[in-house]
Amino acid sequence: MSVLFSRQCEYALQAVMFLALKADGERTSIRDLTKKVKIPHHFLAKILQDLAYKGLLVSQKGPTGGFALAKSAKEITLFDIVDAIDGSAFMQNCVLGFPECSGKSPCAVHEKWGAMREELRLMLASKNVAQMAKEMKKSEYR
C-alpha cells in the first residue's frame, strides 16, 4: 500500500490505466480486468462502480457488457481518479496528521511537505491516463 493513497485508490489507478490502453468505447469485463491486473473481484467491482458513479467510467451489464472509460483517456488525469476515490484532502491536510498544523502553527515537516505536496499535485494533474498507460512497462497491461 502506498503512503499517500488508499488501497482502493491504488486499484482504481491501476484499473483505469489498463482501460486506457483499450480502444475508445471498448468494454472490458470485470473478470478479464481482475485476471489482468490481479485485483480481488468484489473489491474491484465496488471501485469500478464508484468510478462510474463519478462519471469516469461507463458500465454495461450482460454477456457483452463490461467497463470502459466514460471519456477519452486524454481527458482524464491521475488527479481525477485520486479525487474520485480518496478525495483531495491529502492536498490540504498535515502529513503527520496534526489538525492544527498551518503556516502559523507548523509541524516539524510543514514547509517540506508543502513543497512536496505541490510537486505531487502537479505530477498527478499534468499527465493524462493515456500518457501514463503508454509509459507503463508492466507486461500484464499489454
Range of the domain at 82: 7-134
pLDDT at 1: 47
If one counts the domains in the chain, the total is 1
Listing DSSP states for 3-46 in one string gives: SSS-HHHHHHHHHHHHHHTSPTT--B-HHHHHHHHT--HHHHHH
What are the pLDDT tens digits along the chain (142 aa)? 456 788 999 999 999 999 998 888 889 999 999 988 889 998 999 999 999 999 999 998 888 789 999 999 999 999 999 999 998 877 788 888 888 888 888 999 988 888 888 898 898 999 899 888 888 766 665 5
- Assigned domain for 43 exists: yes
Q: Determine, yes or no, domain membership for 142.
A: no
> What CATH number is given to the structural domain containing 69?
1.10.10.10
Does residue 141 sit within a domain? Answer: no
